[in-house]
């Protein structure tokens, strides 16, 4: 059965509606309130954005990252990829469509592993866009390596007491609650001895020491918090999933998060290609358009090819997730997308900056922000180098070492094997001569 590169007409109509809607309403929000999607909305913003969310809900496009049994639409990852690459054109679109990170990943794991009480308290408001959440996993000394984590929780009667440090806890300063990954049993490996807790941000002992921003942001005005948990007490029912289940839960969350980042990056990169081509057709130098210069033509061609390859890679991975419904089985493909993603975004952004000249380096264009974003993407949810190791290890499992002295593709050996296979015909041919 053949596979075509188009979706069914009914869903394509939704995609077309989304493209128009994002361009008409979400992109203007980006220039009115840059990075404002990470802050609690003002009354002025709500008057504009709440009706937009209602339009998205009416189209059946709200929270499409979750299945219907979890409160979403159930379109699957492949359709989500087609939608997300459109949403990637605008920073505000994820908020308007109910797919804003880190809330999407946190909603997914609460939907999968939370109790009904936890879903009522946290999941429903998250899906309705009524509050923010934070994922508090990374530690200052250990990065994202769980074997190095020291932040821990000890059971005391009907409570757990959390102590330790967490770093780069996104949106902690605006969050209502944090999803905290801590050591609960130091006697076993980190993969069996860690647990996750849903911790209200206002809990005594949850101390946001400072907020770290990206380069160019003012000190303590960023959105990535250094958090000190100091005798922070939570009830036993704050445990998410079973005790010792944190690593399995984290893999569910991060697997989805990584591929969703890749989906949106397609939209970011396409936006850059659009900017590059527009500039090439609009600017002349030394007697001709930039579009007539072979260097610029090379930039455009390389960017188109790179983006097309990456897009097909992401769509194929999304298709596999839908087919197998198992992030672990598609781990190699997700990791490969994570490896390629920052390089694609960086290369296309850099070329776009070059075509725009000095203007491309200024804060009057969004290009350099995307170059910085590419650097961050190479580290977020695990550094590129770690994912390369994952790809290699997973791939090597499908191969075996040769048993002979030479490689299996050693030509003299293959010639000998071929002659042996067809010996009777080769002898007959010699006899006829």
Q: Which domains does the chain have, with CATH numbers?
A: 9-114 (1.10.540.10), 133-240 (2.40.110.10), 248-396 (1.20.140.10), 402-433 (no CATH)
Band (pLDDT 50/70/90 cuts) for residue 229 is very high
Q: Give the tens place of pLDDT for each residue, 23-56.
A: 999 999 999 998 777 778 889 999 999 999 999 9
Band (pLDDT 50/70/90 cuts) for residue 326 is confident
pLDDT of residue 365: 95
Whole-number mean pLDDT of the chain?
Answer: 92
What residues have CB less than 8 Å from 244, skipping those under 6 apart?
184, 185, 188, 192, 193, 194, 195
pLDDT of residue 429: 58
What percent of the chain shows pLDDT beyond 90? Answer: 74
pLDDT of residue 37: 78
Give the β-pairing of 177-183 and 133-136. Answer: parallel
Q: For 390, which DSSP code?
A: H
Is pLDDT of 397 > 90?
Answer: yes
> What is the spatial distance between Cα 49 and Cα 9, in angstroms, rounded to a whole number?
28
Is pLDDT of 430 > 70?
Answer: no
Is pLDDT of 342 > 90?
Answer: yes
| Across 393-400, average pLDDT | 96
Is pLDDT of 171 > 60?
Answer: yes
Q: Give the tens place of pLDDT for each residue, 94-144.
A: 889 987 878 888 988 998 899 999 999 998 888 777 888 999 999 999 888
pLDDT of residue 1: 47
74 compared with 209, residue with greater pLDDT: 209
| Across 328-354, average pLDDT | 96
Instruction: List, in sequence order, every beta strand (DSSP E) within 171-270.
Output: 177-183, 194-200, 206-212, 224-235, 239-240
> What is the spatial distance between Cα 128 and Cα 34, in angstroms, rounded to a whole number?
22
User: Can you name the residues that pair with 239 across neighbouring β-strands?
Assistant: 197
| Across 354-363, average pLDDT | 96
């Amino acid at each position: 059965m053949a596979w075509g590169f188009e979706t069914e007409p009914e869903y394509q109509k939704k995609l077309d509606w989304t493209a128009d809607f994002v361009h008409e309403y979400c992109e203007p929000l980006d220039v009115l309130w840059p990075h404002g999607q990470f802050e609690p909305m003002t009354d002025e913003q709500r008057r504009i954005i709440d009706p937009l969310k209602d339009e998205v809900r009416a189209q059946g496009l709200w929270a499409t990252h979750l299945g219907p049994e979890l409160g979403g639409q159930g379109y699957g990852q492949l359709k989500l990829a087609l939608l997300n690459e459109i949403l990637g054109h605008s920073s505000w679109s994820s908020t308007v469509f109910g797919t804003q990170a880190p809330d999407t990943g946190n909603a997914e794991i609460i939907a999968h592993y939370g109790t009904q009480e936890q879903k009522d308290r946290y999941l429903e408001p998250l899906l309705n866009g009524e509050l923010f959440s934070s994922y508090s996993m990374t530690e200052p000394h250990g990065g994202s390596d769980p074997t190095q984590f020291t932040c821990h929780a000890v059971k005391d009667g009907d409570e757990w007491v959390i102590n330790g440090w967490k770093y780069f806890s996104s949106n902690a300063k605006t969050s209502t609650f944090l999803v905290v990954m801590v050591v609960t049993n130091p006697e076993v490996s980190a993969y069996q001895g860690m647990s996750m807790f849903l911790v209200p941000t206002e809990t005594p002992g949850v101390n946001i020491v400072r907020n770290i921003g990206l380069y160019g942001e003012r000190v303590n005005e960023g959105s990535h918090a250094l958090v000190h948990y100091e005798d922070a007490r939570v009830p036993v029912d704050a445990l998410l999933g079973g005790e010792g289940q944190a690593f399995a839960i984290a893999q569910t969350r991060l697997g989805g998060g990584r591929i969703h980042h890749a989906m949106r990056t397609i939209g970011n990169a396409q936006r850059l290609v659009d900017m590059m081509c527009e500039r090439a057709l609009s600017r002349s130098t030394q007697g001709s358009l930039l579009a007539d210069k072979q260097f610029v033509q090379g930039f455009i061609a390389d960017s188109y090819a790179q983006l097309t390859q990456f897009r097909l890679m992401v769509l194929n991975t999304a298709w596999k997730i839908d087919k197998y419904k198992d992030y672990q089985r598609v781990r190699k493909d997700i990791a490969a997308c994570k490896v390629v993603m920052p390089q694609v975004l960086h290369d296309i952004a850099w070329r776009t900056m070059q075509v725009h000249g000095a203007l491309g380096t200024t804060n009057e264009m969004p290009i350099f922000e995307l170059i910085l974003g590419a650097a961050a993407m190479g580290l977020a949810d695990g550094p590129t180098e770690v994912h390369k190791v994952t790809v290699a290890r997973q791939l090597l499992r499908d191969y075996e070492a040769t048993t002979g002295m030479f490689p299996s593709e050693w030509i003299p050996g293959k010639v000998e094997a071929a002659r042996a296979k067809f010996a009777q015909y080769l002898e007959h041919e010699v006899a006829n001569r």
